Amino acid sequence: MTEAAYLSMQGLSKAYPGVVALRAANLEVRRGEAVALMGANGAGKSTLMNVLGGVTAPDAGSITIDGSPVRLRTARDALAHGIAFVHQELAMLPSMTVAENVFADGFPTRFGIVDGATMRRDAAELLVRLGCNLPTDLAVETLGPGDRQMVEIARALRRAPRIVIFDEPTSSLTNNEKRRLFEIVQGLKRDGVAIIYITHFVDEIFEICDRVTVMRSGSTVATRAIAETSPTEIVRLMLGEADSGERLADEASSAGPLLLEVSGLCGGILRDIDFSLRAGEIVGLWGLLGSGRTELMRALIGLDPIDAGALRWRAADELRPVTPNELHQIAGIVTEDRRGEGLLLPLSTRANLSLASLRSLLTPLGLIDRNKEEGLAADLIGRLHIMVSGSAQAVGTLSGGNQQKVVVGRWLATEPRLFLLDEPTRGLDVGAKSEILKLTAALARAGAAVLVISSEPEELMRICDRYLVMSRGRLTAQMPGSATRAELLSAVSATPLRMSAA
Amino acid sequence: MSSFGRLATFLLQNGFLVVLAAVFAFFAIFTNTFLASGNLIDMLHAMSPLMTISAGLALVVMAGKLDISVGSVAFVAASVGTLLMTRLGCPPLLALAAALSAGALLGALNGFIVVVLGVNPLITTLGTMIAFRGVGLQLTNAQVERLPEGVRELGNWSVGPFFGDTLIALAIVLAVDLLHRRTIFGRQLTAIGNGEDVARRIGMPVDRLVFVAFVLSGALAAVGGVLDTLQIGAISAYLGKGLEFNAVAVIVVGGVSLFGGRGRILSSVVLGALMFELIRNGLNHLGANPYAYRLVSGAVIFAAMYADALKSRVRRAAVGAPAPGEA
């Protein structure tokens, strides 16, 4: 390539206490070119973009724009250098109008009074250029997600930026809206704008990007021209070549009776999900971020609404219809968000362990029996090998792995027959990961059905008896526990060119 | 949509106006004296201090914050102004300036605690509500302090048929409404009420704006305190007591969301204050038990809040539905 890069980020590093977020990351974008930035969760994409947006100050590294070095200390600096950000979580002000939202970062005024007429006219003009005809005095809260995205884009493009960052712009869009967005990106490219396009959807980048830079663990591990790479190669670069570690559980030779049956589940991005879980079985829900794997788990327990479909759960030896809310009561749930799922960090390990089963600890007077509580805590601490100085130690002072064990332990005390695990090992060290995986295997041996999500195939390969593969809100394949890493990777990167009938 | 559905929607969107008209009609029919022109002018007079204070508070609420110290601020500011005149012989204009400055200063203190120290606004102003009243009680020794001759007459100043303070209060509410709807400051306050994080991400100086809103709230509380003192002709230990909750009720009943970012200040403050004044005044004319006022206004607040909850439920349902042009 002969043309010099318009934006060049070189050797950027950033460390937070205990975590290295960026390790000498490099990124170059030329005028009129869209570069895809890909990477698994936590790969450092957000940090890198926050550096470019002036939100995060890097520890080392340099940024040049159009050949001259720049320092981006604040969001205003970034704006002044022609950098615009289309945020993933839309930065919308719901009760305010379309025009006000477009101009929220700088209202036009005349004699100190906001010039509503100019604002509406210019906003309308911008939106028409984006190919959409929204009334500019409509409150944004009355718009659908696609139109909101357009408002956000209009705001970003208002100052005629030279560099535009799209952060997962299509995650909430319908097919038509996505087409419209792609046309906008193509238009920007024709105008010579440098574009950074972040997405989890591998197929999209082959459609509108010219090059792809892949990040992993804070480093930019590879840059390829789109024409010279393949979806499988990109997924392989994103996930790396980690060794899989030995298998921790034999494949269940004969699974037990059917426990949960899901048929025709639709809701949010989920379409026609059918599957079933058997007692004693560990099923890996495998898919890239944005495939709908977390959404499926949330829909099962009523955290996201379901539009259609049926759930049936085995109670008293037969499958009976069950509501997501009831399933929420039945299931043991562990996610990567240890705080969000209800660990009370300032409280003792004991209090956290007993929280889900306080009813069984009551004295006849309705008070909590401290001896029983201590007995329960001691038992779980022993069984799960939780490393604590004593059951009174505050959970907030435990390591991540031990905190996660407390979460699992809390559920163990209620003896659930269904476990839903969403990235249960995220952020844990290798040893703690193995322990959590062993624990998962033990849960299944004890007769529970386990549905587990992980971004790391080698982790799933150590415990799963079966895989459900998800892509774009659908179950696209089922694979046996003997599937190889390569098979798993190609299952999610072979993008079925299905135009979903939205 | 069925005609019943349309009626329901209309009532939901304009329920407050309907109730206001009904209350007005009720008292007009069932009392002989309520509708007299003198009484209407008296009502506008009586609600002036409350309107002024509510207008300032509305700015803070628009940003999603709360200031329940306004009653105590009004008390301290009025005390400072009055005592300067009676004990030190200050000229009235200087005393007025001192009262307003005192209000702004106390507002700034609230703003400082909220913005710099990061204390929750409700807790902050609950504390300062108690503390400021203590300051005022100490200044006045909890005694009634009459305004000096020559100043007291200002309480009866009128322009045409209206009392002067009615016009001052209306002018202030109009100005605050303009500030809210038509200036960058106002739009940014609304943006903060919509989502503080979003406003920050867009690059708005959130802390500075919230601080200024508290200062304005304090200053306008002082104006309200001064108007109230002029009406009575003296300050007493009870001045402004409970006014903070009346002010919250006024703007909320009028349609400003306590979560911030929604509502029109002009109509909320004027109609909200009018509603409570109608009930108070009308019940008087009806010869009702004076304590009935509290029960009735409580019921009105509840009804308004329930309508608001219904409205936002409808709004949520509308947002959850597929966007136009899809499907």
Residue A495: predicted pLDDT: 53
Q: Which chain B residues are within 8 Å of A113, Cβ to Cβ? A: 178, 182-183
CATH number, position B55: 1.10.3470
Q: Which chain B residues are within 8 Å of A104, Cβ to Cβ? A: 187, 191, 199, 202, 204
Residue B292: predicted pLDDT: 87
Tokens for A79, please give them. 């704006």
Domain spans, chain A: 7-239, 342-415
Which residue of chain B comes nearest to A155, CA vs CA? B202
Which residue of chain B comes nearest to A106, CA vs CA? B184
pLDDT over threshold 90, residue A392: no
Cα distance from B44 to chain A (closest Cα, Å)?
30
Cβ contact, residue pair B190, A76, below 8 Å: no
Cβ contact, residue pair B184, A114, below 8 Å: yes
Which residue of chain B comes nearest to A79, CA vs CA? B203
A252-266, A334-348, A477-491, B188-202: range with lowest mean pLDDT: A334-348
Interface test with A, best of B180, B181, B184 (most A CBs within 10 A): B184
Cβ contact, residue pair A92, B198, below 8 Å: yes
Q: Which helix (H) or strand (E) holds A60?
A: strand A60-65
Of the candidates B198, B261, B322, the beta carbon closest to that of A144 is on: B322
- Which residue from A142, A481, A366 is spatially nearest to B320, judged by alpha carbons? A142
Q: Give the B window 229-268 contacts with A, CB below 8 Å.
A: 261-262
Cβ atoms within 10 Å of A349's Cβ, excluding its own: 27
Q: Which chain A residues are within 8 Å of B313, Cβ to Cβ? A: none
Query: How far is C-alpha B71 from the geometric centre of its chain's CA atoms?
Result: 10
Q: Which chain A residues are within 8 Å of B195, Cβ to Cβ? A: 91-94
Which residue of chain B comes nearest to A502, CA vs CA? B327
Cβ contact, residue pair B194, A96, below 8 Å: yes
Domains contained in chain B, number: 1
Q: Which chain A residues are within 8 Å of B314, Cβ to Cβ? A: none
Q: Which chain B residues are within 8 Å of A156, Cβ to Cβ? A: none
What residues in chain A have their Cβ under 8 A from chain B's Cβ atoms? Answer: 75-76, 79, 87, 91-96, 100, 104-105, 107, 109, 112-114, 116, 141-147, 174, 176, 305, 502
Which residue of chain A comes nearest to B204, CA vs CA? A105
Contacts of A187 by beta carbon, 8 Å cutoff, 6+ apart: none
Residue A30: predicted pLDDT: 94
Cα three-residue angle B259-B263-B264, rounded to 5 degrees:
145
Hey, what amino acid is at B22?
A
Strands A258-267 and A270-278: antiparallel
pLDDT over threshold 60, residue A216: yes
Tell me the per-residue pLDDT of B210-247, one tens digit each, with 9 for 90 and over: 999 999 999 999 999 999 999 999 998 888 888 999 99
Q: Which chain A residues are within 8 Å of B262, Cβ to Cβ? A: 95
Contacts of A289 by beta carbon, 8 Å cutoff, 6+ apart: A40, A41, A200, A455
Q: Which chain A residues are within 8 Å of B264, Cβ to Cβ? A: none
Residue B108 is part of which domain span? 33-310
Of the candidates A75, A87, A144, the beta carbon closest to that of B326 is on: A144
CATH fold for domain A7-239: Rossmann fold (3.40.50)
Cβ contact, residue pair B324, A144, below 8 Å: yes
Tell me the per-residue pLDDT of A100-131, one tens digit each, with 9 for 90 and over: 999 988 898 888 888 989 999 999 999 988 88
Residue B324: predicted pLDDT: 35
Number of CB pairs, chain A paired with chain B, less than 8 A apart: 72
A36-50, A398-412, B109-123, B310-324: range with lowest mean pLDDT: B310-324
Average pLDDT estimate for A334-352: 78
Of the candidates A87, A91, A146, the beta carbon closest to that of B323 is on: A146
Q: Which chain B residues are within 8 Å of A87, Cβ to Cβ? A: 201
pTM: 0.74
Q: Does B55 fall in a domain?
A: yes
Q: Count of alpha carbons within 13 Å of A135, Cβ hemisphere only?
A: 6
pLDDT over threshold 70, residue A500: no
Of the candidates A87, A107, A112, the beta carbon closest to that of B187 is on: A107
Cα distance from A94 to chain B (closest Cα, Å)?
6
A202-206, B65-69, B316-320: range with lowest mean pLDDT: B316-320
Of the candidates A93, A141, A176, the beta carbon closest to that of B315 is on: A141
Of the candidates A76, A91, A145, the beta carbon closest to that of B323 is on: A145
ipTM: 0.77
A137-151, A239-253, A463-477, B49-63: range with lowest mean pLDDT: A239-253
B317 has a chain A CB within 8 A of its CB? no
Q: Does B131 fall in a domain?
A: yes
Q: Which helix (H) or strand (E) holds A430?
A: helix A430-445
Q: Which chain B residues are within 8 Å of A98, Cβ to Cβ? A: none
B127 has a chain A CB within 8 A of its CB? no
Cβ contact, residue pair A114, B187, below 8 Å: yes
Cβ contact, residue pair A96, B182, below 8 Å: no
The chain-wide mean pLDDT, for chain A, equals 85
A288-297, A308-317, A331-340: range with lowest mean pLDDT: A331-340
Which residue of chain A comes nearest to B257, CA vs CA? A95
Cβ contact, residue pair B326, A146, below 8 Å: yes
Average pLDDT estimate for A357-365: 83
Q: Which chain A residues are within 8 Å of B319, Cβ to Cβ? A: 141-142
Cβ contact, residue pair B202, A105, below 8 Å: yes
CB A462 within 8 A of CB A424: no
Band of pLDDT at residue A144, cut at 50, 70 and 90: confident
Contacts of B142 by beta carbon, 8 Å cutoff, 6+ apart: B237
Cβ contact, residue pair A76, B203, below 8 Å: yes
Q: Does B88 fall in a domain?
A: yes
Collapsing DSSP to helix, strand or coil, B196 comes out as: helix
CB A299 within 8 A of CB A306: yes
Question: DSSP per residue over A356-419, as a string?
Answer: GGGGGGB-TTS-B-HHHHHHHHHHHHHHHT---S-TTSBGGGS-HHHHHHHHHHHHHTT--SEE
CB A243 within 8 A of CB A458: yes
Cα three-residue angle A472-A478-A481, rounded to 5 degrees:
125
Cβ contact, residue pair B191, A104, below 8 Å: yes
A270-279, A401-410, B73-82, B316-325: range with lowest mean pLDDT: B316-325
Q: Does B323 fall in a domain?
A: no
Tokens for A329, please give them. 């009561």
